[in-house]
């Protein structure tokens, strides 16, 4: 059964329950399903628990709880909106993060020749590492990091699901990190 379908909750049909008792009953009957639903949306069990807790708090803090006849549908709707808000916030924050390939501060009048050279070397390593990625992984990475597309748009463009895009992004980031770590490691002298 789709959680968004508006069907009366058993808790709305029982007289004599307080609002907090109705929420408690809703929690006991549907929390597992809600967590599975949110884990699928967020990709993280911890984020799912956080969103679920926030949704229950919102339900408990309703000014006029009697106006909500379908608590289960309202809970899922609230939780879905919280997930969307978190994803928007995360996406905005991610796009605002500076690229960390460079060691200099702009307010210092630009890079020193040494830091400019080091940044250029790191940039070459990153470019080479991106070129080493499998084509579909590379396309997903470029769309995300350079074009600023969200996971859903990338998935649609590549005709894949969001979970696959997340795996490609993780693979790409691990590969880039490995290449940068290898390049930073001191070279052993071969005798």
What DSSP assignment string belongs to the chain?
--TTS----GGGG-TT--HHHHHHHHHHHHHHHHHHHHHHHHS-HHHHHHHHHHHHHHHHT-S-GGG-S-HHHHHHHHHHHHHHHHHHHHHHHHHHSPPTT----GGGTS--HHHHHHHHHHHHHHHHHHHHS-HHHHHHHHHHHTS---HHHHHHHHT--HHHHHHHHHHHHHHHHHHHHHHHSPPPPP-
Percent of the chain whose predicted confidence (pLDDT) is above 70: 73
pLDDT of residue 8: 46
The band of 154, judged by pLDDT with boundaries at 50, 70 and 90, is: very high
pLDDT of residue 137: 93
Fold of 113-184: Arc Repressor Mutant, subunit A (1.10.10)
Mean pLDDT of 23-35: 87
The band of 162, judged by pLDDT with boundaries at 50, 70 and 90, is: very high
Q: In terms of pLDDT, which residue wins out, 89 or 181?
A: 181
Q: In terms of pLDDT, which residue wins out, 113 or 51?
A: 51
Give me the residue spans of the domains in the chain. Answer: 10-95, 113-184
Query: Per-residue pLDDT tens for 50-71?
Result: 888 888 888 887 766 666 567 7
Is it true that domain 10-95 has CATH number 1.10.720?
no
| pLDDT(1) > 70 | no
| pLDDT(23) > 90 | no
Domains 10-95 and 113-184 share a fold: no
Report pTM.
0.43
| pLDDT(134) > 90 | yes
The band of 132, judged by pLDDT with boundaries at 50, 70 and 90, is: very high
pLDDT of residue 166: 93
In whole numbers, what is the pLDDT of the chain averaged over residues?
Answer: 77
Q: In terms of pLDDT, which residue wins out, 124 or 100?
A: 124
């Amino acid at each position: 059964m789709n959680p968004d379908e508006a069907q009366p909750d058993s808790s709305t049909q029982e007289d004599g329950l307080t609002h907090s008792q109705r929420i408690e009953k809703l929690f006991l009957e549907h929390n597992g399903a809600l967590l599975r639903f949110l884990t699928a949306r967020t990709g993280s069990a911890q984020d799912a628990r956080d969103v679920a807790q926030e949704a229950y708090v919102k339900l408990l803090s309703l000014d006029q709880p009697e106006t909500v006849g379908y608590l289960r549908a309202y809970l899922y709707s609230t939780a879905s909106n919280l997930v969307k808000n978190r994803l928007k916030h995360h996406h905005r924050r991610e796009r605002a993060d500076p690229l960390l390939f460079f060691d200099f501060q702009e307010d210092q009048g630009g890079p020193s020749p040494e830091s400019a050279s080091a940044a250029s070397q790191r940039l070459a390593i990153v470019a080479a590492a991106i070129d080493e990625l499998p084509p579909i992984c590379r396309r997903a990475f470029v769309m995300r990091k350079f074009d600023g597309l969200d996971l859903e748009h990338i998935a649609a463009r590549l005709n894949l699901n969001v979970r696959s895009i997340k795996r490609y992004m993780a693979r790409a980031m691990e590969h880039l990190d490995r290449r940068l770590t290898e390049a930073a490691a001191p070279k052993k002298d071969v005798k």
